[in-house]
Amino acid sequence: MLEFPQRIREFRRRFKFSQHELGERLGVSGNYVSMLELGKKPPGPSLRKLFETIEQSHKHLPAASVPRATGQPPANEYLTLLSTDTLVRNFGEVAQKLSTDAVLEKQCVVDNLRAMLDEIEKRWLTASSRISEAQ
C-alpha cells in the first residue's frame, strides 16, 4: 500500500485536480496539499479520514466524471459522508489553520468552516425535530 503522500498525489493527478481544487474539497489550502504530498506535514486524523472517504467514493469513477471546481466554495458533499463526531473533530482541526498569515488561505478556511457548520446545524436540527415529533 502506498504511503499517504503518494496516495494523495496519485489521487489528485488521476482526477486532474490542482492542489487548490483538492484543498477545497478537503478543507485546507493548496499549499497544505503540497506539503502533504511532499511529506512535510502529516495529516491529522480527521483530514486522513476525510481523504480516505473521498478516495473510496471516487474509486470506481472514471476521471472525466468528477465535477470540476467552479471557483466558488464547494457545497461539500463529502461532509455528508462523515459521522457527526468526525465532522466536529475536523472542525477544530480546520479552525486551527486560521493562524496562517495568508489572507487567501484564511478565506478558504473560513468558507470550509461555514460549510461544516451548516452540515452540523442541519444534523442537529433534524435530530431536534425528530425528538419533538416523538414527544
Give the pLDDT of residue 87.
Answer: 76
Q: Could you read off the pLDDT of 76-122 as tens digits, one per residue?
A: 666 776 777 777 777 777 777 777 666 666 777 787 788 878 888 88
116 touches 79 (CB < 8 A) = yes
33 touches 4 (CB < 8 A) = no
Domain ranges of the chain: 4-58+75-134
Residue type, 39: G
CA distance 72 to 108: 10
Question: 27: alpha, beta or left, given left = phi > 0 and alpha = psi -120 to 50?
Answer: left
Give the pLDDT of residue 70.
Answer: 44
Q: Could you read off the pLDDT of 15-72 as tens digits, one per residue?
A: 888 898 888 788 788 888 999 999 998 888 878 888 888 888 777 665 555 555 444 4
The overall pTM is greater than 0.85: no
For 124, counting Cβ atoms within 10 Å of its Cβ (0-12 exposed, 13-18 middle, 19+ buried), the class is exposed
